[in-house]
Amino acid sequence: MNKVVQIGRMTKDAELKYLPGSGTAVANFSIAVDDGFGDNKKTYFFNIVVFGKSAEAVVNYTHKGSKVAVTGKLTTRTWDAQDGTKRYATEIVADSFGGIEFLDSKSDNQNQTNYQTNEYSVPGQVDDQLEAVDDGDMPF
């Protein structure tokens, strides 16, 4: 299974592009992730790729320094440079649904507004239908 989860701060504003032909939005940015503490503290940097509506949301709701959680898969791209050398880039490609969570936003950094690209709810509808369950007979 290829699954990566990282929480870090954006090192620069996301760059938004659209794929030729399909017009799919693609956002590219990198995050800095701290690990350890004190003298053992290290910072790791990861390149992130986000597609579709989530890519547009990244550009609209984040900026350099924004804290984000990324869930996706680790991939390596390969291409031939103009000088004929082979180039590689290792990136985390965010999952299509729920692959990016904004832990603060461009418009409201003081309130730490959370924005998730995959969660929607209507207040009051779920709790109204719940019933108490007697779990006394359950084997665990």
**What per-residue confidence (pLDDT) applies to 17?**
96
Which tokens belong to 54?
A: 């989530």
Contact 61, 86 (CB under 8 A): no
**What per-residue confidence (pLDDT) applies to 98?**
87
At residue 90 the predicted structure's pLDDT band, cuts being 50, 70 and 90, is very high
As a whole-number percent, the residues of the chain with pLDDT over 90 amount to 68
pLDDT above 60: residue 107 = no
In the chain, the domains with their CATH numbers are 4-128 (2.40.50.140)
Contact 15, 62 (CB under 8 A): no
Contact 103, 68 (CB under 8 A): yes
Predicted confidence (pLDDT) per residue in 42-87, tens digit: 999 999 999 999 999 999 999 999 999 999 999 999 999 999 999 9
User: What is the b/e burial string over 44-55, where b = at least 16 CB atoms within 10 angstroms of the residue's CB?
Assistant: eebbbbbbbebb
